Amino acid sequence: MQEEINIIENYKNVVLDLSEILEEENAFLTEYKMKEAKNLLKAKEEAVIAYRSVVAYLIKNPQELEQMSVHEKTKIKEISFHLDDLLKENDIIIKTRMETSKSVMDSIVNLIKISNVSNSTSYGSHGTMSPLEKGQNSIALNQTL
């Protein structure tokens, strides 16, 4: 019985810790505080590892959950649903940031291509110059753009 309480309490603590980290990360990402969000990565990784470990144990030992009171099951469901909501929000925020960054970079590349058409040339086989092929010019970008 003591082991049951420990694993359930451990599960609740792990879920609450991971939820707290995700809430912070989501707030930082929403506010474009990327350095602060990056600083949470190690803690997030450790919390995810702990979460997977506890969930794996509970999958192998479902009797631990079956013996819980209705109140405890309800509490576990609530914090699990809250974690799920935070994970979905985190996923949306990260995907949005990635798509926005890609869109901005694509716009910069297209503007550079358009503005450099008159000042550029294309290279043919063996490094010889060939007639200008519009839209086929190579551009290298500094990743910090």
> What does the pLDDT look like over 36-81, one tens digit per residue?
999 999 999 999 999 999 999 999 988 888 888 899 889 999 999 9
Give the model's confidence band at 98: pLDDT under 50 very low, under 70 low, under 90 confident, else very high: confident
> What does the pLDDT look like over 1-48, one tens digit per residue?
445 458 889 999 999 999 999 999 999 999 989 899 999 999 999 999
139 occurs within a structural domain: no
93 occurs within a structural domain: yes
- Structural domain range at position 84: 2-130
Give residue for tokens 């603590």.
13
**What's the whole-model pTM score?**
0.69
> What does the pLDDT look like over 106-140, one tens digit per residue?
887 777 777 766 555 565 666 666 555 555 555 55
Distance CA 19, CA 86 (A): 7
Q: What is the DSSP letter of 17?
A: H
135 occurs within a structural domain: no
142 occurs within a structural domain: no
> 3-state DSSP call for residue 122?
strand
Q: What domain count does the chain have?
A: 1
> What does the pLDDT look like over 99-115, one tens digit per residue?
888 888 888 777 777 77
